[in-house]
Structure 1
């Protein structure tokens, strides 16, 4: 049973994070090369803005902000699930190679398959999912031992190795490609939030509408999987069935996010840790908070990145890595 004070603390935290997200989104909507005055944002949203204000807000800023928020949710939830399933606090879809697998899937689709304008946007998450799923399966097989089950530390090491190998494979893929396609993949790898338009939102939303409720529904099962395998079996959990379904969910979440944002790591590592520090390790408590923290972190990184340097700014993936890499080293030394 969860103590009422913890539930109250979670609700206060959620409300605070929602307020932070709203404030940050308003700031992000107003900042940029073509700025919109903060006192004009609400009138423009209500249809009382000038042509320029409506174009900047509805065609440039809002789609990007929504994509960033949705992708942050997906990456944070993916990391939360992977940390629970593997019982490893260092698990993250970017660190263990899932994002790299998604990147190879996107690159293969972009370079070698016929592209149709109407279906390209909606096929990208599927291509990313196939690449990420194939990578996750191989990593899982290498990290699994018949006698002792899944080896958490081995999973991280195998994942890092595969991530490096897939980066090499990506270089080989693009070495003989056309310059325009190489430029696109290079932007994708840097985490540049390249899919900042309304159709990309409609491409990612169905994945999240299914996978976020499913993950919250499985939160209690995830609590049990975080115990030792003997205890989990003792309380009647079908370990392999639950583990596979949750890993598939984490892979799909990460693939849907990186297919439109590019290669972004560390959100799925940091957001769950911060959430657990706030309300404890129970998944039904910290996952909603981790989702909001992931959105806020990625929105802050993107807003700062695109306003720091002219003309193109710094990709959000680079901004997150500047913070996330030292944090990963700190956790590695601590654990």
Structure 2
């Protein structure tokens, strides 16, 4: 079966899965909405309370999960392609923790007041970009340029450093701020508000669009750095541009959802197994897999316990960590 046909079939399957998960997600939570009541709301005959819960809380959460899963998957796909390493991921390279450290500094300085909702996404995005710039600065060698292996090693080292600093900073937090930070770091999809979605959507749309325009460049990277150079690719400039786009997608995602890891690790590898390494097929399929995976994790987190919601990031990590070990052993 051709990669194009496999992409179409899997796209239809994943879209249908997301639709089913979305309907299940709408009906579950701390306040259960029965199927007849849900059908009544969807047909315009529901009561005001159920309508309020669905439109203002649950529907934005579903849209958020789909957006963030898509963005993290694309970010991981680009990082794996540019570094030619199937274990590259925004969280492993320190991009997610860079955004998290910036948020911690903001909370220590300003607390979790009303202004936080406006400033947190911008600060998280700035942290992601600054951490990316630092990774490039430390990974760059004057004579050899940027080595993919060196880039990964520097990213992992900085990720550990940022993580340690965040742990130390929790000692300075008040109980309320500490609870907020822990939920945020666990990937609780906290930005479930239409205003956050409206803020993030342009960033994610522009970043995704640029990556799809750059599909030929990404394909050149899959052939190896030597071949890419013979094709006239400016490796250093393209690496910087593509990884900056990956950092933007990851930073915006972390800003509105919290510290969700491993989606960028799992989905590109699965997409590569299904449709091959041609980026015109792999990139969109990885995005759809990411959206489906995060929406499934969020829905499962609501089904496991009805009294509280298990953060989606925790469930994704339970899947992603063993998969990372599998990739490590296989290599």
- For Structure 1 versus Structure 2, the TM-score category normalised by the shorter chain is over 0.9
- Report what 1:36 is aligned to: 33
- Report what 1:285 is aligned to: 281
Give the TM-score normalised by the residue count of structure 2.
0.94
**Separation (CA, whole Å) in 1 of partners of 2:294 and 2:128:** 21
Question: In structure 2, do the counterparts of structure 1 residues 244 and 195 end up closer, same or farther at CA, with 3 Å as the change threshold?
Answer: same
Superposed, which structure 2 residues align to 1:47-196 within 5 Å? 47-113=44-110, 117=114, 120-196=116-192
Mark the runs of 5 or more structure 1 residues left unpaired by the alignment. none
What SS class does the counterpart of residue 175 from structure 1 fall into?
A: helix
- Report what 1:224 is aligned to: 220
What SS class does the counterpart of residue 267 from structure 2 fall into?
A: helix
**Separation (CA, whole Å) in 1 of partners of 2:56 and 2:325:** 39
CA offsets per residue over residues 32-85 of structure 1, 9 Å max, x none? 221222344343134221122202211221111111111111110100111111
**Separation (CA, whole Å) in 1 of partners of 2:184 and 2:14:** 29
**Separation (CA, whole Å) in 1 of partners of 2:305 and 2:112:** 33
**Separation (CA, whole Å) in 2 of partners of 1:218 and 1:174:** 40
**Separation (CA, whole Å) in 1 of partners of 2:243 and 2:36:** 45
Do the aligned residues in 2 keep the contact of 1:90 with 1:156 (CA within 8 Å)?
no
Do the aligned residues in 2 keep the contact of 1:27 with 1:38 (CA within 8 Å)?
no
How many angstroms does 1:31 deviate by? 1.5
**Separation (CA, whole Å) in 2 of partners of 1:21 and 1:115:** 33
CA offsets per residue over residues 281-309 of structure 1, 9 Å max, x none? 01111111111110110111111112213
Superposed CA RMSD in Å reads 1.9
The range that moved more, 80-89 or 140-149, is 140-149
**Separation (CA, whole Å) in 2 of partners of 1:265 and 1:333:** 20
Mark the runs of 5 or more structure 2 residues left unpaired by the alignment. none
How many angstroms does 1:254 deviate by? 0.3
CA offsets per residue over residues 246-305 of structure 1, 9 Å max, x none? 111000000100111111100000011111111110111111111111011011111111
How many angstroms does 1:5 deviate by? 3.0
**Separation (CA, whole Å) in 2 of partners of 1:272 and 1:66:** 21
Do the aligned residues in 2 keep the contact of 1:121 with 1:199 (CA within 8 Å)?
no
Do the aligned residues in 2 keep the contact of 1:191 with 1:316 (CA within 8 Å)?
yes
2:244 to 237, 242, 248: 248
- Report what 1:296 is aligned to: 292
- Report what 2:312 is aligned to: 316
Do the aligned residues in 1 keep the contact of 2:145 with 2:236 (CA within 8 Å)?
no
What SS class does the counterpart of residue 172 from structure 2 fall into?
A: coil
Aligned length: 331
**Separation (CA, whole Å) in 2 of partners of 1:36 and 1:159:** 45
Do the aligned residues in 2 keep the contact of 1:71 with 1:295 (CA within 8 Å)?
yes
How many angstroms does 1:229 deviate by? 2.4
**Separation (CA, whole Å) in 1 of partners of 2:252 and 2:241:** 17
How many angstroms does 1:232 deviate by? 1.3
